[in-house]
Chains A and B, each alone.
Chain A
Amino acid sequence: MLRYILRRLGASVLLLLVVTLMTFVIFYVVPRLAGRTTEQLATMYVGRAPTEAAIQATIERLNLDQPLVLQFWEFVKGIVVGAEYTFGNDVVQCSAPCFGYSFQTYQEVFPAILDRLPITFSLGLGAAVLWLVGGVAVGVVSAVTKGSIFDRISMGLALAAVSLPVFFTGQLALAFLVHDWDLFPNARYTPFTEDPLAWASGLLLPWMTLAFLHAAQYARQTRAGMLETMGEDYIRTARAKGLKESRVVLKHGLRPTLTPILTIFGLDIGLVLGGAVLTEQVYSLNGIGRYAVTAIVQSDLPVILGVTLFGAFFVVLCNLAVDLLYPLVDPRVRTAR
């Protein structure tokens, strides 16, 4: 078991390193392959006023004149232990993990991300709970009552929901639920520690919008998995014991169905925590996703780079969590590894 944990941990660290390498390649090597000179590359990282001196300083700061391996080394070092940048006579400490400075605000990228993290977290986790519970519940009921009106309607809705993007459903919800019918308050972020009620009510609509899409997927997956599981021999064994049907479904049928769903859940929640781009944009929530959108619009390269790595970090982290949870859910993994 310990060995399994260590192996998973090792694999995650390796994966992060590979992601870092690929990000580095995209941001530092590909422009060169496309024919950019060192100066042109540096210009991309200078910001709005590319004076000759600023460009030279940037080249030095990012080691752009050094061999690629060394550049990558410095890049990783900056992330792990931090870096010191010299601007003229000033020495600025950029503490670990250092993704550099925004051209627009001259803020360090990482603290800026941390500032926005609570918003993205609140949005992502709340939505995740909604879609997991809602999706699985609908899927189970659909499977058990296969062919019923409920099954047909909910699966029809699910198919529609899967094909509707968030910027459509979100706008629709804003237009009708908020403006025309005044059923929901407009989306607004209040820190949980200040006022839990306001936190929840302000996020209710974004939660539902984000959860809608995912819940549909989960409902479909759960239904398919459940139908398969309920045909297994051990379900017949459970019935032959004299168990109530509800217990057969909820204890014997649900657990094997949830096992693969856990895997997708890990991926999805990792993606959302790295920034729910569309939802944050539609509801004007200043989370990581919106930060990324602004940065892309303004070609704010260090921010884009930082958000990319940060998002990757969450996907890897959530996957690791799933891998470590897996043996608890499915005992066969314990002895197999």
Chain B
Amino acid sequence: MTTPETGSRGDGLPVVSVRDLSITFPTADGDVHAVQNLSFEVPEGGALGIVGESGSGKSVTSLALMGLHRGTRAQISGQILVAGTDVVAAHDRDIRAMRGNDIAMVFQDPMSSLHPQYTIGDQLVEAYLTHRPRAGKAEARKRAVEALDRVGIPEPGRRINSYPHEFSGGMRQRVLIAMGLVCEPKVLLADEPTTALDVTVQAQILDLLDDLRRDLGMALILVSHDLAVVAGSVDEVLVMRRGVAVERGDVRRVLGAPQHPYTQQLLAAVPRVEVTRAQRRAQLRAEREGRPAPAAVQEPPRAADRDGEEPLLSVRDVRQRFRIRGGLFGGSTDFYAVDGVSFDLYRGETLGVVGESGSGKSTLSRMVMRLLEPTEGSIVFQGRDITHLPERKMRPLRRDIQMVFQNPYSSLNPRMTVGESIGTPLRVQGERDGKLIRSRVQELLERVGLEPSHYNRFPHAFSGGQRQRIAIARALILRPKLVICDEPVSALDVSTQDQVLRLLAELQEDFDLTLIFVAHDLAVVRQISDRVLVMRKGKVVETGDSDEVYENPQHPYTRQLLAAAPVLDPDEARAHRAERRRLRGEQGEQPAVEVV
């Protein structure tokens, strides 16, 4: 294999070539055209990013590249050539010879993409022996260990005998990449490889893919809904929308000077970590009032320190202990999911809570909601200590504290109409007048951007973004003072995410809401928060005014998080990557963040 000198663009022949590809799914309601007349090619050692929102056809396309459309109802026309194999016409046997050998695929969800009942060694060895049947088991095992070592699994010789559940998500994604590597394919196809992962882990995986591409001369096809994820890793971008390629070109050109309105719209929706809270606010306000966004903004200095004012919510040194069973005689060890967190929250403010999985941010919000009783510390809401309030006394207070959850697909009861779901809190709080409930619900449906006539529909008729609007309406029906949003947009596409964030900002003004906004995405948090808590392993590592924390992070972990956040400018992304490599070099070979 030849590695291109510059590494930025392969000049060889195309290793993947797609011509006039159309994929259609016949359904009872007529044909669904998932992909239409798509053409692109990837040169040897090149890298292509395919970007689009859900329903854009990007995943269908990547499955078709692997020939995985076979056996489904998909009807395919056009031509796909992968390393000389005609994927549309070839015999099943030739497709199998191509899969894993010429082109390997890494999937979105590392938690479910490995077989839970076989060791990772078994699964890697199997991949190798499928294409090199004459190599012995010992040889295959040696290759597997090499591949695991290559992707940065510590102690690969020992870990090869572990089962998938003994690894963290990021490590599993590394294992899947290693599995793709064992036969040294010419193309690595990664479909949303980092969507299920934390920011720092995402950065590590993207860096790894970049390294592999450079060192092994593989071509890379990176599929994502997020332009910022592909920006630093590819040479060329293909933007898809509803099965059609709307724009294709050099990554710098597409991101720097997008031609198609959809690309422009998509770019505008990407939350940017460098935009300050004040700029964002001014921009939103201007848009609402229909005037152009001001070029420079000077946020009026906030009412200094709010000395006289009593905080709406005051949290002091809360801890939440979980017992982990273990030990020979059923003994248990204590584990503090939240360990000594304090903050004050004033009326009308937004507090952003940032952290990765396991940081305790969700546990914290559940304690404030009093879905969990804190083990230690105190929570004072509107001057009243609610730390250990029994549920009976807590119930009237629930009117004032509401929550919006992460997954809009599972947090709405599928057997209740949307109107009933939104109206339930009113009923629980004792409202009996059905007509009044109905009119209030419909009013609110309109306010969150839906139709009053949606009252009688069931949740399955709505998209993810619409469902999150419904969830927001349900949280607002009681006119609460405090709303806790736990990762409210992390399951949504970028443009939907942007719409929901705008809605939240508007509602905050109109309803005079105080918000706690929990998220792992730094850029999203910055746009919406006045102040930020950065959490790690149950503790607050840094807190302060959001712009200050973002502009001038004090704690190394905050810096690490910021360096890991994806950015849209390809050159800046590469600079960040270099910075991460340097940081990692300082810390020793292995990434320090992940521990199983």
Binding site for B on A (CB under 8 A): 3, 232-234, 236-244, 252, 255-256, 259, 329-332, 335
Contact = CB atoms under 8 A, between A and B. Distances in A.
Contacts of A252: 115
B68 A330 contact: no
Contact of B99 (A3, A241, A256, A331): A241
Nearest to A253: B115
A236 B66 CA distance: 11
B395 interface: no
B68 A234 contact: no
Interface in B121-161: 126-127, 130-131
Contact of A239 (B68, B98, B126): B68
Contact of A242 (B96, B107, B176): B96
B165 interface: yes
A243 B96 CA distance: 7
A209 B166 CA distance: 45
Contacts of A259: 117
Contacts of B163: 331-332
Interface string B72-115: 00000000000000000000000011111100110101001111
Contact of B126 (A234, A241, A329): A241
A237 B179 CA distance: 10
A232 B116 CA distance: 11
Given A241-B130, A243-B126, A232 B112 contact: yes
A-B pairs with the 4 shortest C-beta distances?
A242-B99, A242-B100, A233-B112, A241-B100
Given A236-B107, A243-B96, A330 B117 contact: yes
A56 B15 CA distance: 97
B96 A244 contact: yes
Given A233-B107, A233-B112, A242 B68 contact: no
Contacts, number: 69
14 contacts: A3-B328, A233-B109, A233-B112, A237-B115, A238-B115, A240-B68, A240-B104, A240-B107, A242-B131, A255-B117, A331-B117, A331-B163, A331-B165, A335-B166
A332 B115 contact: no
A240 B127 CA distance: 9
Contact of A234 (B101, B114, B328): B114
User: Which of A237, A240, A244, A331 gathers most chain B CB within 10 Å?
Assistant: A240
Nearest to B176: A237
Given A3-B328, A236-B107, A335-B166, A241 B127 contact: yes
Contacts of A329: 117
Nearest to A330: B117
Contacts of A244: 96
A239 B99 contact: yes
Contacts of B98: 242
B118 to A, nearest CB: 8
Nearest to B112: A233
Contact of A241 (B117, B166, B179): B179
A174 to B, nearest CB: 43
B151 to A, nearest CB: 16
Nearest to B328: A3
Contacts of A236: 68, 107, 113
Which size bracket describes the interface of B in this complex? 20 to 34
A243 B112 CA distance: 18
A240 B116 contact: no
B165 A335 contact: yes
A295 B68 CA distance: 62
A255 B117 CA distance: 8
A237 B117 contact: no
User: Which of B98, B101, B117, B165 gathers most chain A CB within 10 Å?
Assistant: B117
A272 B241 CA distance: 60
User: Which of A3, A234, A330, A335 gathers most chain B CB within 10 Å?
Assistant: A234
A234 B172 CA distance: 12
Interface in B260-300: none
B131 A240 contact: no
Nearest to B165: A332
Nearest to A237: B113
User: Which of B66, B112, B115 gathers most chain A CB within 10 Å?
Assistant: B115
Contacts of A3: 328
A332 B96 contact: no
B117 A242 contact: no
Given A239-B99, A330-B117, 13 more contacts: A233-B112, A234-B114, A234-B115, A236-B107, A237-B176, A237-B179, A240-B105, A242-B98, A242-B99, A252-B115, A256-B115, A331-B117, A331-B165
Nearest to B116: A332
A335 B104 CA distance: 31
Contacts of A240: 66, 68, 99-100, 104-105, 107
B137 to A, nearest CB: 16
Nearest to B162: A331
B116 A256 contact: yes
Nearest to B71: A245
Nearest to B163: A331
Nearest to A334: B163
A234 B114 CA distance: 5
A268 to B, nearest CB: 23
A240 B104 CA distance: 7
User: Which of B99, B107, B116, B119 gathers most chain A CB within 10 Å?
Assistant: B116
A243 B113 CA distance: 15
A242 B100 CA distance: 6
Contacts of B328: 3
A111 to B, nearest CB: 41
Given A239-B99, A243-B126, A234 B113 contact: yes
Nearest to B114: A234
A42 B539 CA distance: 71
A131 B127 CA distance: 34
Interface in B159-175: 163, 165-166
Contacts of A233: 107, 109, 112-113
A161 B355 CA distance: 56
Contacts of A335: 165-166
Contacts of B176: 237
Contacts of A234: 112-116
B94 to A, nearest CB: 10
A237 B107 contact: yes
Nearest to B111: A233
B96 A256 contact: no
Contacts of B113: 233-234, 236-237
Contacts of B99: 239-242
Nearest to B96: A242
A291 B215 CA distance: 76
B327 to A, nearest CB: 9
A331 B165 CA distance: 9
Contacts of B100: 240-242
Interface in B172-190: 176, 179
A248 B126 CA distance: 11
Contact of B116 (A239, A241, A330): A330
Contacts of A242: 96-101, 127, 130-131
A337 to B, nearest CB: 9
A240 to B, nearest CB: 5
A242 B102 CA distance: 10
B357 to A, nearest CB: 19
User: Which of B104, B113, B166, B328 gathers most chain A CB within 10 Å?
Assistant: B113
Contacts of B131: 242
Interface string B570-587: 000000000000000000
B109 to A, nearest CB: 6
Nearest to A232: B112
Interface in B388-412: none
Contacts of B105: 240
A196 B131 CA distance: 47
A242 to B, nearest CB: 4
A3 B330 CA distance: 9
User: Which of A237, A238, A252 gathers most chain B CB within 10 Å?
Assistant: A237
Interface in B496-535: none
A256 B117 contact: yes
